[in-house]
Amino acid sequence: MAPRMNTKEAQKPRDKHFTTILLAAQEEFATHGLKGARMQAIADRAGLPKANVHYYFKNKVSLYLAVLDNIIATWDDFFNDVSVADDPAIALDTFIRAKVRLSFENPTASRLFANEILQGAPYLSDYMREVLRPWVNNRAKVVHEWMNAGKMIATDPILLIFMIWATTQHYADFQAQVLGILGRKEYDDDLISQVSDFTSQTILRGCGLEPPNTNATGN
C-alpha cells in the first residue's frame, strides 16, 4: 500500500465531496500558503458549504496534511506493488512515465509539496521519518534484489528513487523556466511523450536496462 499519514481524515471514505475538497484545498494552499489559505475560500473553490468542509476536516492544518498525504500517495502508488518477480525495466519505466505525466497534468501538487520541503518540512517531518522513510527503504530493497538477481547493474537504490523524483518533478516546479527556454506557451501531449521517453531511457540505460519503449528519437 502507498505510504499514507495516520490521520482520521486520511482514513475516511473518499467520496465525491472528499475528493473535491482535497483538489480545491490544493489550489488554495498552493496559491496562498497555509497561513493565507481560508476554509471559506476552500469551500468556495469546491462549490460546497463551509460546513461540508468541516464535516471532513476539523481545521485547516488537518486539511493541509490530508492534501499532502494525497499528493505523496498518488505519486508513489505507481511503484507500490512492484516485487522482485517483476521486470525492472517495465516497472521503472511505468513509474517514471506516470510521474512525468502527473508533473505535467497536476503541477500544483508538486509545487505545494516542494514549498513544504523548502520550509524545512514543518508539517511533514514526523511523516517522513515514520512513514515515508520505511516506504523508501522497502522499495529500495526490491531494487537491490533485482541487482542480486542479475536483472540490473549495481547502483544505489535510494539515490535512484531520488533521481526519479527530482527529474520528473522538475517539469512541474520549474514549468515557467522549461516553457520559456523551449519557447512554448504550454505543455502538450507531444512534449509529455518526448520527456517521458528521454527520462526513462536515460535513467534505465544508466542502470544497464533496455527501455521497453524504443520508438523515441535517438534509439
Task: Walk me through the domains of the chain, giving residue ranges and CATH numbers.
Answer: 8-70 (1.10.10.60), 81-210 (1.10.357.10)
pTM value > 0.75: yes
Q: Give residue 77's pLDDT band: very low, low, confident or very high (50, 70, 90).
A: confident
For the stretch 161-215, pLDDT in tens is 999 999 999 999 999 999 999 999 999 999 999 999 999 999 999 999 999 975 5
pLDDT score for 78:
86
Average pLDDT value for residue range 22-48? 95
Q: Hey, what long-range contacts does 109-113 have (CB within 8 A, 24 or more apart)?
A: 109/26, 109/71, 109/74, 109/172, 110/71, 110/169, 110/172, 110/173, 111/30, 111/172, 111/173, 112/26, 112/29, 112/30, 112/67, 112/68, 112/71, 113/68, 113/71, 113/72
Q: Above pLDDT 70, what percent of the chain? A: 90
